[in-house]
Structure 1
């Protein structure tokens, strides 16, 4: 009879292997090329992947200097391509299928024709394109686009060029992980899963644009090895009072709903703004795994493991923001903003596993019940001052305080029986909590000076102090009592002073 540790190791390996497999199956790649009617490459054209059935947006991209484009990690289905470019008529491909037989689809060349309205001298006024290319960055113009209605910020990101979001909420840019995500130019100081929760609760209607930067300007910290994503929220530009309310609901196997609102007031001397959003989600995931173990150097089956897991997460998220800007002079602004979020929920897993011999007879049954609860809170206060010169240079000062708190109670119960239900081992029981508090104080000064030939000189300096207290406390149940689990218990206190100049350099455009 195999030991309990053997079963636990197999369960862990099976779970992570299944997650990796689930992320890659039933997905493919699409590529193609764009040219003008004269045969020159259609460089930096906006390329959108649409569902063939209803033209719903799936993903956006920008063609490179040679007019080539590519979409990766695309679920199997029937699609078409739309291409737009300034001075050209919009063009479409024929509908095509992406499936196991056409896993890597190379489409015929799409030829763009000149816009006949422009050739005739007709004045055409157009909104900003959904996707814009600039040196070192791509801009997704969310405001007033079709994706701003009924979608979350995470759903818009998933449709953005070069962005891939896995099932755990990890964001990669151009195939690279370690992306630094900011909101209004300020770091979020959240883990990937916590950030994903925030972005899934934030309505796209609150966003002006999303900046995807492979070469971030000097004013941004040099964090993130894969680039930077800056989510720019809408700002009130109209004088007077205005506000909005939003709400949504849906139901599959479980309900989900959200609501929010914003209020703004602006005159020539100051502006006030505040917003609040709430989202509730519930989900259910089922995972079936069959694993076969053969005798060494043989094709004879030794063990068959059949696992059926049921996972049920639920989540409640609250986000709020309030701020005020004072217009001291036409070129000087002093302001402050406070924002925060509260997130709570549960993740429950039930996993029975049947171990059978090579003849199909049940040897043992392992049943695990795992509960993870989480409650985390994030708050930030910012004081900022900006002065702009008539020649285009600007000096910006930011003082920030961030506080993050997380509590994660969890428990695991594993029981192993034979085929008749007789207990083979004492049940394995583990419980713990991981309270964590992080306080961050930061001050930053940035300077931008325009130069000739569309060059900009950017420089800055930053100081930050971090105080982190992480106290992981775990216990196991042995001999009819709970005892400390030294292998998982750890109290870690970390303090850091960080002073450095920001990147200093020039930038085109």
Structure 2
């Protein structure tokens, strides 16, 4: 396959070279166009956007920014007639009189362009130029958290939970509009992590390093086909300025346990070189109370379990990200990005008490389990990228090469003691321990090519190859009385290899009020899961096609509609395939399923936008071989365990309404309503037919108050009604958050104070009554916390610089992480 990719690269470059050679050999004479911008008082307008247009059709030729003296220059402009357009925030767009380049003069001077203020007041302009918390774009919803008070001191996971249509369950699984199978990207790159590993990473990511969160429910063929409910793209803050500048953030958090976080971002741009870097560290200590009541039926009797567990986690993390972009020419940029994390997590001492009885009211015996768990995560990723702008019409080629490696290691010891109802020792204690080293290695290569055929027609194509290998080694021991010996019943090794080759094409056409985009993506997957100890191998080879269609039409300035369709796939996460058992105690554990199949989803979406503000979206999707969490019971050992199985089908219907509003100049808000109905069907789940579903709605509202000069306050609330998911019923959830911020020292310093879940109401309460499954779970996480965060922005803050995103995010999204 690597040879095929190599040939494709050669073909693309030959095509580009041929296109370049096909240009006329007699190069027209050129000249420079220079001028200046002045405000209404005749003073220079610095760092305004200036665009060079062809006079005959107003098509864009070049663009630049004015200097701090208000001047601009366009070099090497071919002979012809041109216009100069100038725009900047708070001023009306202004266009010059036509100017002519004949080649007879080396420089053509444009008379000074005088800008006029916008028709709205400066106060109103300031409000508009500050991005709203929620923005609706043609193909995505954007949550701008960079300046949000509530983001201060939060982790990325806690902020993500506030995004429109996003819910996070008791196990930190992420759902979008009620559907699991979300692909999480960071800076347009796949994270290649499993659900658990992704959770750890998001918990240790300081929200102060995030610029925005993008919700893409129906991605185009350009994106990887994974993720049946869509893509969540987390955009990190990047270098936008020349000179040297940066940001320092310090935060303390007090909940049931103390936390703290620190991050430092530094950017430097000089000439053709752009350097950037971010480091962050923190201690995230949390308390999680878990209560499980369940009934296990055997042939003759029923056993009632009442279990209470206190999970105490201490996480210390260090994250880093740095890179560089270098303009080798005016049309080519070469860059690299390196990032990683070094995380230690301690779960000790976790204590679980389980009462057992033959009736609900009386306990015959009980057991206590103390667990001491240490997990380490050592992750590293590198990206090399090149972007070639072939011409000024938008023809370009970009190439990404990625390498990632994840080293995870877990050591755990479980000490269980058995007692009678009176408290006397019932039997000898059980001591077991595990060591679980794990290594995941990922290589990806990606190339994307864009060709504007005409002003209104654009062609895109690209190829990608990824190779992933996971090696999980479970070394289990049991205490024989005086020493630990190997436990052959649990010791195992699981090796998983996966290779995916992909290619796509996109064609888009724009008319006056209508735009259409159609694409097709093909992905061939070859995978092998090897349960080494049992000599059990699962191989799969399959080729899939993923079409997508997007149609948008504007009836007027106030009424727009869109219709789109896409087909997607969800391959099982690497930890979901791993058949190892991970224990809470003797009667409670989870394990993977190496026979889990991928699931396929067809999604349809109709959207309507009124006056660029109110957005309504209707969606329907059908998922076949849907993978879902399930609770199973071993009637012989009376153990209850969680795993994943494929059900026949899931039908999902959803509606989303989002609207920002302004009550006064000092009071703005946003309300988001998501309603959905999910229907799960299976012909033979645990020997019976499953047909479950429930209508659910989620309401989120945020109010922003400009209480005084330099002060801003936010108040937000959310409510999620009862939810049915597979065999589980989830009770309603609700919470209220509030915060206030103060900017000072020329807006370079900011102090934020916020409280999450003020009334401590957020809980995860889950129940299931299906066949022999009879359980209730009540979970209370450490949700009511107070945060105090100080940030300081330093250095130059004017000229924008190039930003880049990598190409290995889909595979990373399926790796298990630990923050």
2:317 aligned with 1:317, yes or no?
A: yes
Kindly state the Cα deviation for residue 151 of structure 1 after the two structures are TM-superposed. 3.4
**Cα distance change of structure 1 residues 492 and 121 upon mapping to structure 2, 3 Å threshold:** same
2:148 aligned with 1:140, yes or no?
A: no
User: CA-to-partner distance for each residue in 1:440-469, whole Å, 9 max, x for gaps?
Assistant: 111100123346686643321012222322
Kindly state the Cα deviation for residue 359 of structure 1 after the two structures are TM-superposed. 9.9
1:225 to 224, 228, 250: 228
SS at match of 2:200: helix
**Cα distance change of structure 1 residues 454 and 170 upon mapping to structure 2, 3 Å threshold:** farther
Task: Tell me the distance in 1 between the aligned counterparts of 2:416 and 2:457.
Answer: 63
Task: Tell me the distance in 1 between the aligned counterparts of 2:394 and 2:145.
Answer: 27
SS at match of 1:280: strand
SS at match of 1:427: strand
2:103 aligned with 1:122, yes or no?
A: no
Kindly state the Cα deviation for residue 154 of structure 1 after the two structures are TM-superposed. 2.1
Tell me the residue number matched to 1:242: 245
Kindly state the Cα deviation for residue 381 of structure 1 after the two structures are TM-superposed. 0.7
Tell me the residue number matched to 2:428: 426
Stretch deviating more after TM superposition (237-246 or 209-218): 209-218
**Cα distance change of structure 1 residues 364 and 321 upon mapping to structure 2, 3 Å threshold:** same
Structure 2: stretches of 5+ with no match in the other structure: 1-117, 509-516, 518-549, 553-819
Task: Tell me the distance in 2 between the aligned counterparts of 1:330 and 1:409.
Answer: 53
**Cα distance change of structure 1 residues 489 and 357 upon mapping to structure 2, 3 Å threshold:** closer
Task: Tell me the distance in 1 between the aligned counterparts of 2:234 and 2:453.
Answer: 27
**Aligned 8 A contact 2:380 2:405 in 1:** yes
Task: Tell me the distance in 2 between the aligned counterparts of 1:479 and 1:198.
Answer: 39
Task: Tell me the distance in 2 between the aligned counterparts of 1:454 and 1:129.
Answer: 30
User: CA-to-partner distance for each residue in 1:97-117, whole Å, 9 max, x for gaps?
Assistant: xxxxxxxxxxxxxxxxxxxxx
**Aligned 8 A contact 1:270 1:324 in 2:** yes
**Aligned 8 A contact 2:414 2:431 in 1:** yes
Tell me the residue number matched to 2:166: 163
Tell me the residue number matched to 2:331: 331
**Cα distance change of structure 1 residues 448 and 146 upon mapping to structure 2, 3 Å threshold:** farther
**Cα distance change of structure 1 residues 417 and 457 upon mapping to structure 2, 3 Å threshold:** same
Alignment of 1:276-295 (within 5 A): 276-288=279-291
**Aligned 8 A contact 2:457 2:507 in 1:** no
1:476 to 463, 466, 478: 478
Task: Tell me the distance in 2 between the aligned counterparts of 1:235 and 1:382.
Answer: 16
User: CA-to-partner distance for each residue in 1:318-349, whole Å, 9 max, x for gaps?
Assistant: 11011010012233210011000111112242
**Aligned 8 A contact 2:208 2:249 in 1:** no
User: CA-to-partner distance for each residue in 1:44-67, whole Å, 9 max, x for gaps?
Assistant: xxxxxxxxxxxxxxxxxxxxxxxx
The RMSD of aligned alpha carbons is 2.9
2:444 to 435, 442, 450: 442
Stretch deviating more after TM superposition (469-478 or 353-362): 353-362
Tell me the residue number matched to 2:393: 391
Tell me the residue number matched to 1:404: 406
Bigger fraction of residues in strand = 2
**Aligned 8 A contact 2:317 2:342 in 1:** yes
Kindly state the Cα deviation for residue 293 of structure 1 after the two structures are TM-superposed. 8.3
Task: Tell me the distance in 1 between the aligned counterparts of 2:275 and 2:339.
Answer: 14
**Cα distance change of structure 1 residues 208 and 455 upon mapping to structure 2, 3 Å threshold:** farther
Task: Tell me the distance in 1 between the aligned counterparts of 2:502 and 2:426.
Answer: 60
Kindly state the Cα deviation for residue 429 of structure 1 after the two structures are TM-superposed. 2.0
Tell me the residue number matched to 1:259: 262
SS at match of 1:408: strand
**Aligned 8 A contact 1:154 1:199 in 2:** yes
Tell me the residue number matched to 1:368: 369
**Cα distance change of structure 1 residues 370 and 451 upon mapping to structure 2, 3 Å threshold:** farther
SS at match of 1:424: strand
2:129 aligned with 1:131, yes or no?
A: no
| TM-score, reference length from structure 1 | 0.69
**Aligned 8 A contact 1:434 1:471 in 2:** yes
Tell me the residue number matched to 2:763: none
Kindly state the Cα deviation for residue 278 of structure 1 after the two structures are TM-superposed. 0.9
**Aligned 8 A contact 1:218 1:458 in 2:** no
**Cα distance change of structure 1 residues 345 and 265 upon mapping to structure 2, 3 Å threshold:** same
Structure 1: stretches of 5+ with no match in the other structure: 1-119
SS at match of 1:425: strand
SS at match of 2:196: helix
Alignment of 1:481-496 (within 5 A): 481-496=483-498
**Aligned 8 A contact 2:153 2:252 in 1:** no
Task: Tell me the distance in 2 between the aligned counterparts of 1:249 and 1:227.
Answer: 34
Task: Tell me the distance in 1 between the aligned counterparts of 2:478 and 2:267.
Answer: 53
**Cα distance change of structure 1 residues 448 and 353 upon mapping to structure 2, 3 Å threshold:** same
User: CA-to-partner distance for each residue in 1:137-164, whole Å, 9 max, x for gaps?
Assistant: 2122233344444433223211111111
Tell me the residue number matched to 1:207: 210
**Aligned 8 A contact 1:218 1:459 in 2:** no
2:182 to 179, 186, 194: 179
Tell me the residue number matched to 1:82: none
User: CA-to-partner distance for each residue in 1:251-308, whole Å, 9 max, x for gaps?
Assistant: 23321000110111002311111110112111223344556789999xxx98664433
- Structure with the bigger RCO (C-alpha within 8 Å, sep 6+) is 2
| TM-score, reference length from structure 2 | 0.44
**Aligned 8 A contact 1:218 1:505 in 2:** no
Tell me the residue number matched to 1:21: none
Alignment of 1:4-19 (within 5 A): none
Stretch deviating more after TM superposition (158-167 or 318-327): 158-167
Alignment of 1:72-87 (within 5 A): none
Kindly state the Cα deviation for residue 243 of structure 1 after the two structures are TM-superposed. 1.7
Count how many residue pairs are aligned between Structure 1 and Structure 2. Answer: 387
**Aligned 8 A contact 1:222 1:502 in 2:** no
SS at match of 1:154: helix
Kindly state the Cα deviation for residue 361 of structure 1 after the two structures are TM-superposed. 5.7
Kindly state the Cα deviation for residue 224 of structure 1 after the two structures are TM-superposed. 1.9
SS at match of 2:160: helix
**Cα distance change of structure 1 residues 387 and 292 upon mapping to structure 2, 3 Å threshold:** closer
Task: Tell me the distance in 2 between the aligned counterparts of 1:346 and 1:214.
Answer: 36
**Cα distance change of structure 1 residues 329 and 461 upon mapping to structure 2, 3 Å threshold:** same
SS at match of 1:468: strand
